[in-house]
């Protein structure tokens, strides 16, 4: 189904991708309601989060837009809980969705952009592909970004790999100024599975002249950043810089 600009597609063309069958298969069987997670002992300094009530069959019915979350954290915030919609108009929201299943240190997500090369020069307005080699993820899991954004917890496949997808985001740079995250020059969610471990995105209209940063954003099926088992690790994402001439 076509999606609106600036969601999971790039800015220049109509996205004709259909949602993959992953919608119905991105929940590992062992993540269904289990009678609740044990209390997590609380976050130091915040008084602790009480144990949560478990997930009653999250994401099992994509047609209904998923589950709005079962934790109670947001009740303390007086903020509207996330409801599967992206918040585009400046509204601050709160998510009760649990982080989900966290992989082993042996299955952490890692990737590298192999094309273009870092520092490459590319002709303006000329199509090019971004290729990403990725490990630690079963790609192709892509919840509906219009109705299920952040609704589902992270899940693993039977081999312990995060079930997720990546995105490519390209921003124009202006020296050392911080790029504005609200205006990527190109963005696309990668809902298709990797081929031989490589994800490919066509920047099919190229880019105007300028210097750019090209980054991955590796995510769980629900579009949240991947959740990893240790803090001290290599980045789950890669960025390169290119010059468009």
Write phi, then psi, for 47 (nearest 5 degrees): 85, -5
Nearer to Cu ion, 9 or 96 (CB): 9
Q: Tell me the C-alpha distance between 172 and 52, whole Å.
A: 42
Cβ of residue 152: shortest distance to Cu ion, in angstroms?
12
Cβ of residue 196: shortest distance to Cu ion, in angstroms?
22
Cβ of residue 13: shortest distance to Cu ion, in angstroms?
18
For residue 133, the cross-strand partners are 112, 198
Nearer to Cu ion, 16 or 106 (CB): 16
Cβ of residue 7: shortest distance to Cu ion, in angstroms?
9
Cβ of residue 53: shortest distance to Cu ion, in angstroms?
27
DSSP state of 226: P
C-alpha dist (Å) from residue 245 to 151, 173, 210:
41, 14, 7
DSSP state of 126: -
DSSP state of 225: B
Query: Which residues sit at the interface with Cu ion, rule CB under 5 A?
Result: 189, 219, 223
Residue nearest to Cu ion (CB): 223
Nearer to Cu ion, 95 or 219 (CB): 219
Nearer to Cu ion, 52 or 223 (CB): 223
Nearer to Cu ion, 136 or 189 (CB): 189
Closest by CA position to 37, among listed 52, 58, 56, 59: 52
């Amino acid at each position: 189904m076509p999606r609106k600009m600036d969601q999971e597609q790039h800015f220049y063309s109509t996205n004709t991708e259909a949602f993959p069958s992953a919608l119905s298969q991105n929940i590992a069987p062992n993540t269904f309601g289990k009678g609740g997670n044990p209390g997590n002992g609380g976050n130091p300094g915040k008084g602790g989060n009480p144990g949560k009530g478990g997930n009653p069959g999250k994401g099992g019915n994509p047609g209904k837009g998923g589950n709005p979350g079962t934790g109670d954290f947001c009740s303390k915030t007086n903020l509207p809980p996330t409801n599967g919609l992206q918040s585009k108009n400046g509204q601050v929201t709160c998510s009760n969705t649990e982080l989900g299943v966290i992989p082993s240190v042996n299955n952490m997500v890692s990737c590298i952009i192999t094309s273009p090369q870092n520092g490459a020069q590319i002709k303006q307005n000329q199509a090019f592909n971004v290729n990403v080699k990725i490990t630690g993820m079963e790609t192709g899991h892509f919840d509906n970004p219009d109705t299920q954004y952040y609704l589902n917890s992270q899940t693993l496949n039977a081999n312990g790999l995060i079930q997720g997808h990546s995105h490519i985001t390209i921003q124009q740079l202006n020296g050392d100024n911080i790029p504005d995250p609200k205006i990527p020059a190109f963005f696309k969610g990668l809902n298709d599975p990797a081929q031989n471990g490589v994800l490919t995105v066509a920047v099919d209209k190229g880019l105007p002249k300028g210097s750019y940063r090209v980054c991955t954003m590796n995510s769980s099926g629900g579009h949240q950043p991947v959740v990893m088992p240790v803090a001290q690790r290599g980045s789950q994402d890669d960025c390169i810089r290119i010059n468009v001439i």
